[in-house]
Amino acid sequence: MANNRKKRSRKSGMSPGTLVHIGDQKLENSKISLIQYSEAAVSETVADGIEQCAELVKGHKGVTWINIDGVHDVALMEKTGELFGIHSLVLEDIMNTEQRPKMEEHENFLFFSLKMLSLSGKNRSLALEQISMLLGNGLVITFQESPGDVFEPLRERIRQGKGRLRKQKADYLSYALLDAIVDNYFVILENFGDEIEELEESVLKSSGGETVSRIHAIKRKMLVLRRAAWPLRELVNNFEKCESPLLEKSTRIFLRDVYDHTIQIIDSVEVSREIIAGLLDMHLSSISNKTNEVMKVLTIMATIFIPLTFIAGVYGMNFEYMPELGWKWGYLAVMVFMLLAALGMLWYFRRKKWL
């Protein structure tokens, strides 16, 4: 992994609640955007600073969604915490991008920390981005490490006003955001499924070291995915079960749906892990098989020709008194004998099912 990454260990020895960014800084300047909507209207703003957002929230009756790209800016974080009343431990969790996915109930908001997945580059390496989400009264604040996200279709739905979204409160928006992230896990899983199928086909054919390292690579990716997915179930379950007044009853049935999805994701991950474990066994078995076959070829060749070469060697000796050398049919007899010996060997190998 990246060497310029700011590591967890930086925090060691610091006072709790000290804001320190942990992880790669994926963006130079933080970017704040804001969407406000009610059933009737939508407005989108690219905010200059978080103060502007706080003001816009005050006057608004509908739902406000503030999205902040980039969590490395300590000053911005502190300001945000101050303006919206966020506990410094929560701010710390937002800036620590190596957080374990979790959901916490706080006095006036619910806090979610989870991972958004994407595949990048030619060798389809798995990239994790931490998404933090705060659900307050009529307000959702999302924090991302870098701009790109899986929320674009959601924004479109807000703009177009189709479906349920515009009629519901902030809790439904936070559900929809969760749903978008969880749905994206299936895309990743399908990609992995394809990769595993490719690997399965190649395992029996090739026996090169690259197969092993590819198996190892997908295994590691699965570990990363699993580590992101397992706590997700707990997170969604806690959300559904929580008794905060911020969560409307009508939203719970949708959360149950997301919950089913997280179980399905975990299921898929576990099945994939078993298949991958099987692949390695198959690979090892396949190498052993190949070694066995190579050995057979060698053994057959050596076993047939080594005795023959010995016989030829015997009649190549220069003893003065070797009666066979003078016989008229000596040469022919030896050649025929050699032929019979070779055929005998072949018959023996055939009986042993080596041929």
Coil, strand or helix: which one is 106?
Answer: coil
Cα(306)–Cα(334) distance, integer angstroms: 15
Q: Which of 4, 16, 40, 58 binds a second copy (CB under 8 A)?
A: 16
Query: Binding segment for a second copy among 55-63, 119-127, 133-141, 310-318 (CB under 8 A)?
Result: 310-318
Distance CA 347, CA 341 (A): 10
**Binding residue for a second copy (CB under 8 A) from 58, 209, 243, 245?**
209
Q: Rounded distance, CA 56 to CA 11, Å?
A: 35
Q: How far is the CB of 212 from a second copy (least distance, A)?
A: 5
Contacts of residue 205, defined as CB under 8 A and 6 or more positions apart, other chains included, come to none
Tell me: does residue 335 bind a second copy (CB under 8 A): yes
Pick from 56, 127, 128, 308: which binds a second copy (CB under 8 A)? 308
User: Where do the DSSP E strands lie in 137-199?
Assistant: 139-144
| Residue 354 found at the interface with a second copy (CB under 8 A) | yes
Which tokens is 86 given?
Answer: 């966020």
CA distances from 224 to 78, 233, 268 (A): 31, 15, 14
Q: 272 in helix, strand or coil?
A: helix
Region of 1-9, 46-54, 57-65, 123-131 interacting with a second copy (CB under 8 A): 1-9
Nearer to a second copy, 28 or 320 (CB): 320
Residues in 83-142 at the binding interface with a second copy, rule: CB under 8 A: 87, 89, 92, 98-100, 102
326 part of the interface to a second copy, by CB under 8 A:
yes
**In whole angstroms, what is the distance from residue 122 CA to residue 124 CA?**
5
Q: Segment contacting a second copy (CB under 8 A): 29-37, 70-78, 130-138, 146-154? A: 146-154
CA 269, 272, 274, 280 dihedral sign is negative
Residue 237 interacts with a second copy (CB under 8 A)? no
Among 39, 213, 344, 355, binds a second copy (CB under 8 A): 213
Residue 178: closest CA among 99, 237, 96: 237
**CB-nearer residue toward a second copy: 72 or 214:** 214
Collapse the DSSP code of 43 into the 3-class scheme (helix H, G, I; strand E, B; otherwise coil) and give the result. Answer: strand
Query: Contact at 8 Å (CB) between 94 and 64?
Result: no
150 binds a second copy (CB under 8 A): yes
**CA–CA gap between residue 210 and residue 40 (Å, rounded):** 58
Q: Find the shortest distance in angstroms from Cβ 285 to a second copy.
A: 5
> In this complex, which beta carbon is closest to a second copy, that of residue 83 or of residue 308?
308
By CB under 8 A, tell whether 271 contacts a second copy. Answer: yes
User: Is 157 an interacting residue with respect to a second copy (CB under 8 A)?
Assistant: yes
Triad 123, 128, 131: Cα angle to 5°: 155
> CB of 233: closest distance to a second copy in angstroms?
12
Residues touching a second copy, count (CB under 8 A)? 111
DSSP code string of 305-351: HHHHHHHHHHTT---S--HHHH-TTHHHHHHHHHHHHHHHHHHHHHH
Nearest distance from C-beta of residue 246 to a second copy, angstroms: 19
Cβ atoms within 10 Å of 197's Cβ, excluding its own = 11
> Is 15 a binder of a second copy (CB under 8 A)?
yes
Interface residues for a second copy in 169-208 (CB under 8 A)? 176, 179-180, 183-184, 186-187, 189-190, 197, 200, 204, 207-208
Contact call for residue 60 and a second copy (CB under 8 A): no
> Nearest to residue 252, comparing CAs of 168, 182, 181?
168
For a second copy, the closer of residues 43 and 213 by Cβ is 213
The answer to whether residue 318 forms part of the interface with a second copy (CB under 8 A) is yes
Which of 54, 128, 263, 346 binds a second copy (CB under 8 A)? It is 263
Is 330 among the residues that bind a second copy (CB under 8 A)? yes
